[in-house]
Structure 1
Amino acid sequence: MENYNMCNEPITEVAVDINDIKDTGNEKDKNGKCVFLVAGRMIYRKGLDFLFDALMRVPQKTKYQVRVVGDGPELEHLRRRCEENSNLSEHVCCIGAIPYMQMEEEYARANVFIMPSIRETTGTVLLEAMSKGIPVITINKFGGAILFDENTGWLYDGYTKEEYIENLKKAILECIINPDEVIRRGMNARKKAENYTWQKKNEKYQKIYEDLLKK
């Protein structure tokens, strides 16, 4: 998932191009609705069922939207869950697979990215969200715990399934209630993304090789 250079700084296996780092703040919803984006393969380990359990605990009158992008064997199951629960059907949109250019539009629309995976590596989508100035909610383990902290996103934890679901719900509510904090952490995430570009990655590896050759 990642290794370290001579200064013990994490070097992820994935990165973004420096030209893809941009501020999408002017394209966000202006009506006070917090838009959450979820993207990836719709399989069990991605934790979408846990996310839906958490969303069912968010008061139905709350102003927010969750846009779920991606395809996979769990997609129809997730759509059925939305149909069967009025809270989910009002707030969740399972879009399915979309072209890459349309994905850019989804990033531009989103205020917060959610990665609810129960087992995950760093994940390209995490860096993509970071590069667009989008803070991330993710489990306090794996690659997300390396990339994000309280200044760039929300990390949730727990010892049981119940605790994970409840803490995920709390993180979602905090984003909805505190839009200024979402903006602050998003700006910090965008800045931090500058350390995870292919250009920076190349510089770090180049320094490692040069230091090794000097010995």
Structure 2
Amino acid sequence: MKIGIFTDSYLPYTSGVVKSIEVFTRELTDMGHDVYIFAPSYPKCAKENRVFRFASLPAPTNPGYTLAIPFSIRLKPVIRNLKLDIIHVHSPFLLGRLGAKYAKRLGIPLVFTFHTLYDQYVHYVPLGQEITREITRRLCRDFCNGCDMVITPTGIIAKHLEELGVNARVETIPTGIEVEKFINSNPGWLRQKYNIDREKKILLFVGRLGVEKNIHFLLEAFKEIHHRSADSCLVLVGGGPEEEKLKKQAKVSGLTEKIIFTGKMPWQDVVNCYVGADIFVFASVTETQGLVIGEAKAAGLPVVAVKAFGVSEMVEDGKDGFLTGEDRDEFVEKIALLLKDRLLREKMSLKARENAWHISSRGTAKKLADCYRSLLEWKKSASG
């Protein structure tokens, strides 16, 4: 199959959406399919085979992110020459809408992956947030209903779309985890890199440092955790608009020496952080899946996470981690229990590794390819 991917974010920008596109593209290509990506350009962006870049502008509220100008005189002949079988969009905006237009023009199936609870991100809009939230919900519903298939990473998000009024065909396919990449990584790298004593227990967060990730809650919880367990430290892997505010919060709490901000890292270093930590902690309440939780489990980390949306399906409560309410005391208690009970940590670590294999990248890519084929067969029979 020849698959056209239209996305409003792509490398070198890092996010769960970008990671999902990377993983599925790699697996589909290995399976013999041809994947072509249509994405924004970024400063000093290297040329890549099968990646078409659009001229872009810097996003005013998100450093490092660019907004594609969804027009190019080169696009029409490129699309015509590729003879795509299917178009898969990863946003209901800008390039997602452009991809939808070309799918309709070419008469080929249109697939949309609903990666993001867009209405939960209106804090980036300076005015009229409630009106923006409602408009965003309607826009997402209408865009979904114009697609031949909508992919959701978790069942709870599929239910959420149904409640919004989406009546298009919906399939649940999580972004897969490249489990093999966590097997031969370096568990001593993290402690050596940041001079962390062997006796210290490392709590790890990986993700974008944005308001929606609820990291201020995480730091408040760690203040209490460290009061109980002085041999603990918190490592935050990633960058984002809240980084300076979070550093100030750490300083005010007297925890500057106990909280490590790594900034953005190459992927292999991130993997080394996973395998070198003891517990993964996650407080976001806006996830459609929580891909980093699957990655943490592949590294054998027990997870303590706030139970909200997609996260609730990524942790087997009491087996490979704990799910809590958005209650600081409850969150702290579960982390404290894992810090204290080594046998429980080891038991959950084994279960986490085992469960990560259930969403391996090869398995989820095969399911996606099957969905593509079913759409192509349906389109063929409908036109015949």
TM-score (ref. length: structure 1): 0.81
**Aligned 1:22-171 pairs, distance under 5 A:** 22=183, 27=188, 31-58=198-225, 59=227, 62-86=230-254, 88-149=255-316, 150-158=318-326, 164-171=327-334
* 1:76-131 CA distance string (max 9 Å, x none): 00111112222x22421122112212112211211111111022121221111111
Q: Write out the 4+ residue segments of structure 1 that deviate beyond 6 Å after TM superposition.
A: 23-26, 206-210
SS of aligned partner of 1:98 = coil
SS of aligned partner of 2:294 = helix
Question: Is residue 63–residue 176 contact of structure 1 (8 Å, CA) maintained in 2?
Answer: no
Match of 2:153 in 1: 2
Question: Is residue 182–residue 275 contact of structure 2 (8 Å, CA) maintained in 1?
Answer: no
C-alpha separation between the residues in 2 aligned to 1:105 and 1:44?
26
Q: CA deviation at 1:134?
A: 1.2
1:14 and 2:175 aligned: yes
The 1:48/1:3 distance shift into structure 2, 3 A limit, reads: closer
The alignment-based identity, stated in percent, is 20
Question: Is residue 37–residue 114 contact of structure 1 (8 Å, CA) maintained in 2?
Answer: yes
C-alpha separation between the residues in 1 aligned to 2:229 and 2:365?
48
SS of aligned partner of 2:236 = strand
Match of 2:96 in 1: none
Question: Is residue 187–residue 276 contact of structure 2 (8 Å, CA) maintained in 1?
Answer: no
Question: Is residue 302–residue 348 contact of structure 2 (8 Å, CA) maintained in 1?
Answer: yes
Q: CA deviation at 1:20?
A: 2.6
C-alpha separation between the residues in 1 aligned to 2:253 and 2:154?
43
Question: Is residue 203–residue 280 contact of structure 2 (8 Å, CA) maintained in 1?
Answer: yes
Question: Is residue 48–residue 116 contact of structure 1 (8 Å, CA) maintained in 2?
Answer: yes
Within the candidate set 323, 330, 338, 1:175 is matched to 338
Structure 2 residue identity aligned to 1:72: G
Within the candidate set 355, 359, 365, 1:196 is matched to 359
SS of aligned partner of 2:224 = coil
Q: CA deviation at 1:25?
A: 9.7
C-alpha separation between the residues in 2 aligned to 1:135 and 1:194?
15
SS of aligned partner of 1:120 = coil
Structure 1 residue identity aligned to 2:343: D
Taking only aligned residues, the RMSD between alpha carbons, in angstroms, comes to 2.7
Structure 2 residue identity aligned to 1:19: E
Q: CA deviation at 1:72?
A: 0.8
Question: Is residue 297–residue 353 contact of structure 2 (8 Å, CA) maintained in 1?
Answer: yes
The structure that has the greater radius of gyration is: 2
Q: CA deviation at 1:142?
A: 1.8
C-alpha separation between the residues in 1 aligned to 2:264 and 2:366?
35
C-alpha separation between the residues in 2 aligned to 1:195 and 1:48?
28
Q: CA deviation at 1:205?
A: 5.7
Consecutive unaligned residues of structure 2, counting only runs of 5 or more, are 1-151, 156-170, 192-196, 378-384
SS of aligned partner of 1:138 = strand
Structure 2 residue identity aligned to 1:50: F
C-alpha separation between the residues in 2 aligned to 1:80 and 1:92?
11
SS of aligned partner of 1:56 = helix
How many residues of Structure 1 are paired with residues of Structure 2 in the alignment? Answer: 200
> Which deviates more, 148-157 or 193-202?
193-202
> Which deviates more, 36-45 or 58-67?
58-67
Question: Is residue 235–residue 262 contact of structure 2 (8 Å, CA) maintained in 1?
Answer: yes
- Highest relative contact order (Cα 8 Å, sep 6+), 1 or 2? 1
